[in-house]
Structure 1
Amino acid sequence: MTPSSDILASSITDWFTARGWRVRRHQSEMLEAARAGQHALLVADTGAGKTLAGFLPTLADFAGDNPPGDGLHTLYVSPLKALAHDVQRNLLTPIGDIGLNVRVETRSGDTPSDRKARQRAKPPHVLLTTPESLSLLLSYPEAATMFAGLKRVIVDEVHAFATGKRGDLLALSLARLQALAPGMRRVALSATVADPQDFCAWLAPDGDAASVRLVEGEEGARPELSIMNPEDQRVPWGGHAAAWAVPQLYDEIRRNKTTLIFTNTRFLAEYIFQLLWDVNDDKLPIGIHHGSLSKEARRKVEGAMARGELRALVCTASLDLGVDWGDIDLVVQMGAPKGSSRLLQRIGRANHRLDCPSRALLAPGNRFEFLEAFAAQEAVHEGRRDGEDFRPGGLDVLAQHVMACACAGPFDETALYAEVRSAHPYRWIDAAQWQRVLAFVATGGYALRAYDRFKRIVRDRNGTWRLTHPEHAARHRLNAGIIVDSEMLEVRFRNGRSLGKVEESFGATLSPGDTIRFAGMDLEVEGVRDLELIVRAAKKPGQIPSYMGARLPLTTHLSDRVRGLLVDRAGWSRFPDDVREWLEMQDWRSRLPGPGMLLAESFPHQNKHYTVYYTFEGWNANQSLGMLITRRMNERGLMPLGFVANDYSLAVWGARPVLDPAPLLSPDILAHEFVEWVQESHLLRRAFREVAVISGLVERQHPGKRKSGKQVTFSTDLIYDVLRKYEPDHLLLEAAWADARARMTDVGRLGDLLDRAAGQLVHVELDRVSPLAVPVLVMIGRETTPAGAADDELLVEAESLAAAAMRAD
């Protein structure tokens, strides 16, 4: 279908024809939605031309008889800086080929300050940015003028952040933009939305999903996805790095033009990169990319990929989204994918053309990961997507937004309240909660109002709020943001060249003369200066930095599929012989935990008594359950000695046997022990630190100076103790509790697990370790070791455990 000339100018249709393309149905529908003045959500496969579909109405406006004049016309918001730069590169091609007078620029934390100032005074026609940079733009007095003529906002890869705090911030920014430019239309793009109506409601003004037109893309070619199996060895019992696959992976790199290799953590990216270089006898150009590398290092690698100069690139989620390198012919996922949508997104990096199948390989790290990979493969072939649920917007994010509005100029509390409520995540905010937020931004709360530094805004008699001092605006812009990483040290050579960042806690373990491997190089530590780790080239290999970033969660959808595979005995013939034998022996020796069941196995091992709970609820929920069970065991005199968890199971051991696990799993554990544990543990303090930074209560940076992680922690711990004692219902304690429950402990999945235990708990007592328990038991003593660091040791210990577990006597 080709749109009529009155919708799309002949110069644009001629451009499509010259490239051998046709305007696809979903691209036409996006043009029609724009002409009808509708908001729109486009859900289409990778390679379907989603980004071009989002921008086509803009190109059509500038190719028409009356092209727009100066001023910001279209705003593009991306979750990644790399994606914004990639889109700029690809958008300039049609603009140049068609001969359109469209100025396109990017804006992020990496943009020079002089360019940022010029963009506010003389904005481009199209601005590509991130949620955080957009929020900062809205904090300037020029915002009202800059955005007054805005016609369109395009939110790319909306699934990647809409359900989290970055999505909260963007939803509030969209509400602000809608107030400044009432005629603005919202567009969102995604390849992996599980429930489009939920995202339509998030995108729509006032949460009215019916006001958003849902456009579904043409179906593309089915991806070619397979699982890599060991050629001359068995699928490992333990470990997550899939280091066994590196020789086969290198052969794949040699056979293909360009291979993109995804890992789930920054540590694993460095580790797999190192292993590949160890076998790189052909000296193939192989790169590495992750979020802790310097901007210069990332840009260099991105440029080399765009020019087709690399044979392989090892990366993390830093390249999950939208980056269009059409020459990639193979994607490899090292370790478990953790979700079908995430896997679909990564697979889509290969070929990046709708009509050509994307080729991908999965390299599982252990036997449970093989089952997870198989479940993900089935989900991808069925086109099944998964994702995180929406939850109420964070109060800390709302406080940051209120402060940004005050920095832009005085605001009326009633008008801003209506605006905030129009953002989907904040429909739940009532008048009383709104007053609490204003009071917090104004004074820090009842217990802190005596301190002048917390007095940031003040209200006059007419309900208008303004800054108490102009310096608060500069401090806000210096500290605003949603992503609160662990405090970092800049890794630099003595000449000042930056390589990237490592966490301060890791840097504290290093002494002069120690060696590390970072950014693919071996480096010797010369010393620490302020917040910089000074290094020089080293001749001997060193340890790889570990990072405390959040673990990728195993989705509920995928965990359900894995449980289904366990009891599908007829389907085991599809598995490698050693995986099939593992399940057959488990079936003979004990039970298999099918859907709806919670299996608990108890057995003696090395003079201790073990109970393994097969939950499949993810690491967070299992870790929380381990803390709660050991507390109850201690109260009952069962003398717990420790526990270890992975995504699939939890192993708890003690000096006395657990004869009946049911009392340890009663649902009232969430009403009593859970509250006490969270309040006593570091979790609530850690959550408070994050919300205190996001809300602006505690500042990480001052002009010309940045606080160390220890200084920030000391400040937040001090305030936390004061509030717990004198104002236990403080707004930020409420926000911290919400984070601790939802994100750090995954209380929702924990509750589902306890409900399952109450309904169908099966307890099996054994005389020795079971086959299914081996993968979690080999983690004992290594749960704090970065994944992949001890894989060789794991293999030795696993074979010893497996020998006992798989004996037929």
Structure 2
Amino acid sequence: MPQLSALLTDWFTAKGWSVHPHQQAMFDRADRPATLLIAPTGGGKTMAGFLPTLAELAAGQHQGLHTLYVSPLKALAADIKRNLSTPVDEIGLAIRIEDRTGDTSATQKKRQRADPPHILLTTPESLALLTSYEDAPRMFAGLRRVVVDEIHALAESKRGDQLMLALARLQTLCPDLRRVGLSATVEDPEAIARFLARHPDPCEILLADPGPDPDIAMLETEEMPPWSGGGAAYAIPAVLDQIRRHRTTLIFHNTRAQAEIFFHNLWLANDEGLPIGIHHGSLDRTQRERVEAAMVRGELRAIVCTGSLDLGIDWGDVDLVIQIGAPKNVKRLVQRIGRANHRYNAPSKALLVPANRFEVVECIAALEAVRAHALDGDPRGPGPRDVLCQHILIAACSGPFDADALFAEMTSAGPYADLARSEFDACLDFCATGGYALRAYDRWQRLQQRPDGQWQLRDPRSAQRIRQNIGTIQDTDTLKVRLRRNRGGKPLGEVEEGFAASLTPGDTFLIGGQIVRYEGLREMVVEVSHRADKKPKIATFMGTKFATSTQLSARILDLFSQADWPQLPHHTAEWLALQRQVSRLPERGRLLIESFPQDGREHLCVYGFAGRNAMQTLGLLLTKRMEETGLNPLGFVATDYAVLIWGLEATTDPAPLFEIDSLRAGLDQWLAGNAVMKRTFRASATIAGLIERNLGGQRKTGRQATFSSDILYETLLKYDPHHLMMQITQAEAMRGLVDFGRIEEMIARVGDRIDLVRLDRVTPLAAPLFLEVGKVPVQGAAEERLLAEESARLLADAGLTA
């Protein structure tokens, strides 16, 4: 291993910098098979990962690709290229640095395969595509190092599983390949180390000095937060005041819709004309890049944004982060806080703005967790099999393969270390035949076994179709939005197909902070015109609706157990005290259920604190159980912490409703024909290669894909319910949209400790649920009974009898 050359040390000195201890430690361990560096934002993680590369390339003895850098975001790869090019250019090193993402031109991609640069910056999808070519062994022949940035973000998704399978392939081609993982927010370093390393090789973990604690607090406002809602409009004056006091402020939101609404309200109140931008994933790329460039130049005082700016992009002189709405997840909050004062040993400054009264409690709990350095996160399950199926097809594209060798290679990837051979064989059979119910169709007969035992593509021409559909990101079905012109106007961004279908000419909505009027749909493009309305019909961008983490929920329950709450604003402390006075507060290890009449209906409020998806599922299952036992439910609404059910009968003994086997049976019955399963099937079937979204350069619309996937789902449900894709769908639905595991955890945690409190009126903690949107009606016996009673009353009023 070469020493840190005078060229590099002189450059550090000229900059007035010194090599940080963790950077030197990474350099000293450059020959280790795998190393995970956990260092604070602004601590020079990227330079730590690349110092050995620069030193080896500065020696001038390497030809071809030396280091591969993989990040979750295309923009992050571009940012690293800009930052890495600075020392290379200023020192005068003859090192080629290029990026390869979905935005790279076809000409450049072709040249990169023939003549790769020394350092290639890419994404998991682009790397998977590169490994699918027959010339991959030649392109990666000289590869020495892989740097995986923001590894915590990749480890939480199927993109990370895909990446680890691709690295297993590269390790086969380059046995001495060294792996480096970089992150600032890791709640379980050992788990990430196992994820990164080639199984069963060890991965060394380096913990850098965490630096000073962040300067984080709740934003003080003159107006109290409302009982319900997520817009935080009440805080606009206070937020504007903070923008005036700082150079650049990032204002994070949990969904794109909330970001659009807040930006619109902020702009209406911005009488001084402060330069403020908006940035999220549904905006047109040109608009996002324009905002990014303005940030770099320091021209914007504030940027309203979503997770599109979560990760470690070093743009502009940000000195304040504001989180609008409860963060739901401590690790995500820490990541966002790190965008402010992106410098080593400089404390980040952040303010939290709860959108409603309950979120005040959640924000205080999150603040305490950040100060205690207590990150949250759920343990990783086994690697998903739909990604495994895609990787088998990718391997076949690159040439014939031996099943035993491919199995050994795949089980060297951390997420698949415990993969059973029977599971692998089932995936291989699916890729080869489509499975029992589909093996009669030629389109799913994709692999065949040669006389020598190796597997290959049945039709070599199918490699192009497989490559067109590589990836695990499942886009929401969106349509482009453009200003109306004779031949296609300026692109503004995208909206969901479902939202577009709900529009009629004349409707107005927000996109990119602009109010536009829907004019019509032409060639699958939403055409709009500018409007100056002050109250638009708001576009409901999908965005991610995060569920409060298990650890954060536990902290909220611990906070409830305190005798009083000096850390809470007086209005929230008085609210909780009143709840304790008229009823009781939820506790850890117990399940509080309140029963009370309201508006002529009986209400049941279950405080499960299991997260939004799980509580929504619990509402569905409980109302189903109540319907079966004659309790006549009429509907329910769910939040992260509770589900409120209303109906015709009061519940005297709720315990039987929570019998886990009955709930599980009800879930299986409900899921079988439910849209949740069809939606999950469609996503997994697309990843596994059963459904093609892209064909011959054309992309199927969401409706086309849904139609074909629904037919497949119904066919398999009827003729082959144990088909591999049905097994995968069941597992994915239980873990994701349904989140039944958190219901099971809740029931196991409380056991028979269920407290039913019967009251004569609504309680303070239940009151906000009456204001929640998203109420779900129950169509059953209660509805029929009400109709019969109303019919009888009308007949009686008319002097008639039935």
Q: In structure 2, which of residues 543, 549, 555 is the aligned counterpart of residue 555 of structure 1?
A: 549
Helix, strand or coil: the match of 1:31?
A: helix
1:12 aligns with 2:3: no
What is the CA–CA distance in structure 2 between the aligned matches of 1:150 and 1:389, rounded to whole Å? 32
Cα pair distance change 1:783/1:105, threshold 3 Å: farther
Which shifted more, 748-757 or 397-406? 748-757
Corresponding letter in the other structure for 1:50: K
Cα pair distance change 1:169/1:449, threshold 3 Å: same
Helix, strand or coil: the match of 1:282?
A: coil
Q: In structure 1, which of residues 537, 546, 549 is the aligned counterpart of residue 540 of structure 2?
A: 546
1:471 aligns with 2:455: no
- 1:725-804 correspondence to structure 2 within 5 Å: 725-779=718-772
1:195 aligns with 2:188: yes
TM-score, scaled to structure 2 = 0.94
Corresponding letter in the other structure for 2:740: V
The match for 1:26 is 22
The match for 2:206 is 215
Asked if the contact 1:600/1:611 (under 8 Å) is kept, the reply is yes
The match for 1:534 is 527
Asked if the contact 1:33/1:213 (under 8 Å) is kept, the reply is no
1:586 aligns with 2:582: no
Helix, strand or coil: the match of 1:772?
A: coil
What is the CA–CA distance in structure 2 between the aligned matches of 1:87 and 1:407, rounded to whole Å? 31
1:344 aligns with 2:334: yes
Q: In structure 1, which of residues 161, 170, 176 is the aligned counterpart of residue 163 of structure 2?
A: 170
Asked if the contact 2:603/2:644 (under 8 Å) is kept, the reply is yes
Asked if the contact 1:24/1:218 (under 8 Å) is kept, the reply is no
What is the CA–CA distance in structure 2 between the aligned matches of 1:415 and 1:421, rounded to whole Å? 10
The match for 2:224 is 234
- 1:431-446 correspondence to structure 2 within 5 Å: 431-446=421-436
- 1:555-574 correspondence to structure 2 within 5 Å: 555-570=549-564, 572-574=565-567
The match for 2:670 is 677
What is the CA–CA distance in structure 2 between the aligned matches of 1:388 and 1:671, rounded to whole Å? 22
The match for 1:601 is 594
Corresponding letter in the other structure for 1:324: D
Asked if the contact 1:609/1:656 (under 8 Å) is kept, the reply is yes
Backbone CA RMSD of aligned residues: 1.6
The match for 2:790 is none
Helix, strand or coil: the match of 2:312?
A: coil
Asked if the contact 1:598/1:756 (under 8 Å) is kept, the reply is no
Corresponding letter in the other structure for 1:223: P
The match for 1:90 is 83
The alpha carbon displacement at 1:634 in A equals: 0.3
Asked if the contact 1:488/1:531 (under 8 Å) is kept, the reply is no
Asked if the contact 1:662/1:757 (under 8 Å) is kept, the reply is no
The match for 1:805 is none
- 1:306-317 correspondence to structure 2 within 5 Å: 306-317=296-307
The match for 1:488 is 478
1:48 aligns with 2:18: no
Corresponding letter in the other structure for 1:610: H
Which shifted more, 243-252 or 492-501? 492-501
What is the CA–CA distance in structure 2 between the aligned matches of 1:781 and 1:438, rounded to whole Å? 42
Tell me, which stretches of 5 or more residues in structure 1 are unaligned? Answer: 785-809
The alpha carbon displacement at 1:585 in A equals: 0.4
Asked if the contact 1:524/1:538 (under 8 Å) is kept, the reply is yes
The alpha carbon displacement at 1:74 in A equals: 0.7
Q: Deviations over 1:380-425 (max 9, x none)?
A: 1111111232111111111111111111112111111110111121
Corresponding letter in the other structure for 1:475: R
Cα pair distance change 1:579/1:440, threshold 3 Å: same
The match for 1:803 is none
Helix, strand or coil: the match of 2:597?
A: strand
The alpha carbon displacement at 1:579 in A equals: 0.4
Q: In structure 1, which of residues 154, 157, 174 is the aligned counterpart of residue 150 of structure 2?
A: 157
Q: Deviations over 1:171-213 (max 9, x none)?
A: 11110111111111010011110110111111111144xx211
What is the CA–CA distance in structure 1 between the aligned matches of 2:193 and 2:87, rounded to whole Å? 29
Which shifted more, 675-684 or 181-190? 675-684
What is the CA–CA distance in structure 2 between the aligned matches of 1:90 and 1:754, rounded to whole Å? 50
Query: Which consecutive segments of 4 or more residues in structure 1 shift more than 4 A?
Result: 780-784
Q: In structure 2, which of residues 227, 252, 264 is the aligned counterpart of residue 262 of structure 1?
A: 252
The alpha carbon displacement at 1:14 in A equals: 1.5
The match for 2:112 is 119
The match for 2:360 is 370
What is the CA–CA distance in structure 2 between the aligned matches of 1:423 and 1:759, rounded to whole Å? 42
- 1:323-722 correspondence to structure 2 within 5 Å: 323-325=313-315, 327-493=317-483, 494=485, 495-541=488-534, 542-570=536-564, 572-722=565-715
Asked if the contact 2:254/2:544 (under 8 Å) is kept, the reply is no
Cα pair distance change 1:238/1:586, threshold 3 Å: same
What is the CA–CA distance in structure 2 between the aligned matches of 1:297 and 1:412, rounded to whole Å? 48
Asked if the contact 1:235/1:578 (under 8 Å) is kept, the reply is no
Helix, strand or coil: the match of 2:235?
A: helix
The alpha carbon displacement at 1:496 in A equals: 4.3
Helix, strand or coil: the match of 1:502?
A: strand
What is the CA–CA distance in structure 1 between the aligned matches of 2:704 and 2:667, rounded to whole Å? 29
What is the CA–CA distance in structure 1 between the aligned matches of 2:667 and 2:528, rounded to whole Å? 45
Asked if the contact 2:613/2:737 (under 8 Å) is kept, the reply is yes
The match for 1:283 is 273
What is the CA–CA distance in structure 2 between the aligned matches of 1:168 and 1:531, rounded to whole Å? 33
Cα pair distance change 1:704/1:157, threshold 3 Å: closer
Cα pair distance change 1:347/1:781, threshold 3 Å: closer
Identical-residue share of aligned pairs (%): 50
The alpha carbon displacement at 1:20 in A equals: 1.9
Q: Deviations over 1:137-195 (max 9, x none)?
A: 11112211111211111111111121321111111111011111111101001111011
TM-score, scaled to structure 1 = 0.93
Q: Deviations over 1:526-565 (max 9, x none)?
A: 3212321122322335323213344212111111101111
What is the CA–CA distance in structure 1 between the aligned matches of 2:97 and 2:707, rounded to whole Å? 44
Q: In structure 2, which of residues 201, 216, 240 is the aligned counterpart of residue 225 of structure 1?
A: 216
What is the CA–CA distance in structure 2 between the aligned matches of 1:246 and 1:110, rounded to whole Å? 37
Cα pair distance change 1:561/1:411, threshold 3 Å: same
What is the CA–CA distance in structure 2 between the aligned matches of 1:696 and 1:766, rounded to whole Å? 55
Cα pair distance change 1:330/1:782, threshold 3 Å: farther
Asked if the contact 2:636/2:775 (under 8 Å) is kept, the reply is no
Helix, strand or coil: the match of 2:110?
A: helix
What is the CA–CA distance in structure 1 between the aligned matches of 2:152 and 2:63, rounded to whole Å? 32
Asked if the contact 2:63/2:142 (under 8 Å) is kept, the reply is no
Asked if the contact 1:326/1:350 (under 8 Å) is kept, the reply is no
Which shifted more, 276-285 or 425-434? 425-434
What is the CA–CA distance in structure 1 between the aligned matches of 2:529 and 2:63, rounded to whole Å? 49
What is the CA–CA distance in structure 2 between the aligned matches of 1:182 and 1:704, rounded to whole Å? 36
The match for 1:798 is none
Helix, strand or coil: the match of 2:751?
A: helix
The match for 1:790 is none
Asked if the contact 1:229/1:235 (under 8 Å) is kept, the reply is no
What is the CA–CA distance in structure 2 between the aligned matches of 1:781 and 1:774, rounded to whole Å? 16
Asked if the contact 2:257/2:542 (under 8 Å) is kept, the reply is no
Asked if the contact 1:293/1:501 (under 8 Å) is kept, the reply is yes
Asked if the contact 1:33/1:39 (under 8 Å) is kept, the reply is no
The match for 1:272 is 262
Helix, strand or coil: the match of 2:75?
A: helix
Tell me, which stretches of 5 or more residues in structure 2 are unaligned? Answer: 778-802
What is the CA–CA distance in structure 2 between the aligned matches of 1:758 and 1:378, rounded to whole Å? 29
What is the CA–CA distance in structure 1 between the aligned matches of 2:602 and 2:657, rounded to whole Å? 15
How many corresponding residue pairs?
773
What is the CA–CA distance in structure 1 between the aligned matches of 2:412 and 2:733, rounded to whole Å? 27
Asked if the contact 2:152/2:186 (under 8 Å) is kept, the reply is yes
Q: Deviations over 1:480-530 (max 9, x none)?
A: 211112211011233343222111111111223322221122222232123
What is the CA–CA distance in structure 2 between the aligned matches of 1:93 and 1:198, rounded to whole Å? 34
